[in-house]
Structure 1
């Protein structure tokens, strides 16, 4: 049952099939190019798409828009200290701005950066600074046998260090939850192990904390040591091992814009803080606003505290679980257990006739829009070229936004897609235009439908 009620509503519409067909073709079969008013249920991302609370909107009215020394910055700093345990923060306009600030200060040409699994912008920032992003999940992570499938395999990190040299690994990264790996959580035990291996390599231990509250909820539910702790207490514990955080406030900050870098108040990190501060001023803005208006700082200061409230987080994770259950009941191959922010569908299993080189995940994404104006996102070989990623489609639920009837529409849309699949009416896709930076191609590349018989004839 929802832990909130609606006070403001936004109308949405379901375009007719002809319009959906036209929109899809105009978008180059890339749903990032769709007009939002032509989308009925938008599950593209949970980043910045949620609904803010009355307390957040009220706080915005007290925003201090001073260029320097903003009182709103101080309120955000206090929230980060209370909720996350970090005293030094550098605001940014969103998570990728924070990544640019921190990874630009950490990563140099020839470096290697291990992570449980890098997400798209993280990979891109590391590569853009001359580094090599290296994924180190457990080999059986998505087998369904692990309660903490998002964990990093620290032995893979040690093997990487043996291969390239510890001096070429400036940082060990850990993403909570593991977005690229079906949104699966990371245990506190694994956070501690990652801290230990970072110390062995004399590397900075960085946590991507954008979904820290969701991860803390899973820890409380699944890690026996924390069964009697509050989500707020677990949240601080799991972050206490990190040297630095990268945060997108558009996730568990419950806001529509903003983020920050946070560094532990440790003299050993003073040089990194100074370098990151310079980059923040250069790319984001002065250190007491960092690309955000004072009112946005105020909203995030409230949102961080709301994110660890028991009623909110239980409702949030529970809604994702309900969508996963609804799809599984319809024989949709979803990753179980579900993650905290999204349901992940194995597109290779759902569309077995479409080979990997024809992007079954992207084909499924397009069919969901065609049949029900539902927008998801592919996180397989299209989004992550030259990686050994499963062919996943992510259905991210915006926070405090959709109700049970919207979830039912998504489930019914899958049924319609399954009917077209069984009738042999779904085609694979090929890329017709893509950007130079492969790590970001799924944001802007264009595709076209292609059936396998076309390929055979051409050959």
Structure 2
């Protein structure tokens, strides 16, 4: 296998530039309103970009979550959706995709990744529990708190340093995990959570070597290992590019290796397959049974989980597309190129480039604004 993604071209002067290896076939109208209206809209929104209407926004870079275009094969698959309430063939196809891509037998559907977190936290977290993780996501933190638990973030100290050359800033620190278990006791730790491409520190990945070490510690103390696979495609890409053991491995093999190390995997399709929905999957029937009754209560029947069957069909195709190096290399390769260009211009950025977006370091950009006054929000509003 070639360890380089196919979308990078090299010029005679040594410069490498990524190319878009897809066509855009649908056109959507944008709005470019006068600067006076944009300033007025910002004031109306309280300078909170989440409160802006897209009528007042020309280029929307608020998030990559569920706003990306679906592939032609995903859209085509939506036309064969089986609208049955129970026993839908669409759900059977999604289950098969989960088996093939993640290597997991049992699937519980949910309408979003945060809905998966609700079910997992309600099932396994009780008052006084502690959930160690490489880094939190906001909804993960909230669901654990709501069920009486608390989180401990156990990344290496360098992970929260915006300027770094560490290729795996998302690694969970094994020594900190052992210390956490020693302080709280294994019986107070329902599971250890690893987030593939840690969202809130810039989409930074963990290595399989690190996940194997964490798996060993979990086995030693009888603790379940949970994988948040919402950005697993990007994490797989970085493993292929940065971890020597896997430079000649296929993305499909890397994905199965990661998921195979986890007792339970959950994901948001808004991230992992450019559609809507989510799911919890495992090979342990007893783990699935503990959560199963919560799906009809909060999501929908066990064969649709609050997701339209058309989206279920798109999810299935999107999971398969996650195994394609050309597909998963698009975002991180452009982010890496963009970060490189900005750093050369002296713009303060989070490095190394991650898999979620090109992140400007607002704290260094606006050093006179304290963190509690939201320098990133201020910078976005100013732009």
State the TM-score, normalized to the length of structure 1: 0.77
Shift of 1:335: 1.4
> Counterparts in 2 of 1:54-453, with a 5 A limit?
54-141=72-159, 142=161, 143-255=163-275, 257-264=276-283, 266=284, 270=286, 272-368=287-383
Corresponding position of 1:388: none
Shift of 1:329: 3.1
Range with greater deviation from structure 2 (121-130 or 24-33)? 24-33
- Is 2:25 aligned against 1:7? yes
Q: Is the 8 A contact 1:175 1:207 kept in 2?
A: yes
The root-mean-square deviation of aligned C-alpha atoms, in Å, is 1.3
SS at match of 1:260: strand
SS at match of 1:172: strand
Shift of 1:314: 2.1
Separation in 2 of the partners of 1:319 and 1:140? 24
Shift of 1:343: 1.4
Separation in 2 of the partners of 1:36 and 1:89? 36
Q: Is the 8 A contact 1:167 1:201 kept in 2?
A: no
SS at match of 1:298: helix
Range with greater deviation from structure 2 (42-51 or 69-78)? 42-51
Separation in 2 of the partners of 1:57 and 1:145? 39
SS at match of 1:349: helix
Separation in 1 of the partners of 2:184 and 2:250? 41
Separation in 2 of the partners of 1:26 and 1:230? 49
Q: Is the 8 A contact 2:132 2:153 kept in 1?
A: yes
Separation in 2 of the partners of 1:120 and 1:281? 25
Separation in 2 of the partners of 1:107 and 1:77? 27
Q: Is the 8 A contact 2:166 2:352 kept in 1?
A: no
Shift of 1:215: 0.5
Q: Is the 8 A contact 1:114 1:135 kept in 2?
A: yes
Separation in 2 of the partners of 1:292 and 1:29? 33
SS at match of 1:311: helix
Unaligned runs of 5+ in 2: 1-18
Shift of 1:359: 2.2
Unaligned runs of 5+ in 1: 369-459
Separation in 1 of the partners of 2:53 and 2:25? 26
- Is 2:43 aligned against 1:25? yes
Corresponding position of 2:4: none
Q: Is the 8 A contact 2:225 2:262 kept in 1?
A: yes
State the TM-score, normalized to the length of structure 2: 0.92
Shift of 1:146: 1.3
Give per-residue Cα distances to partners, 1:42-62, cap 9 Å, x unaligned: 221111110001111110011
SS at match of 1:65: coil
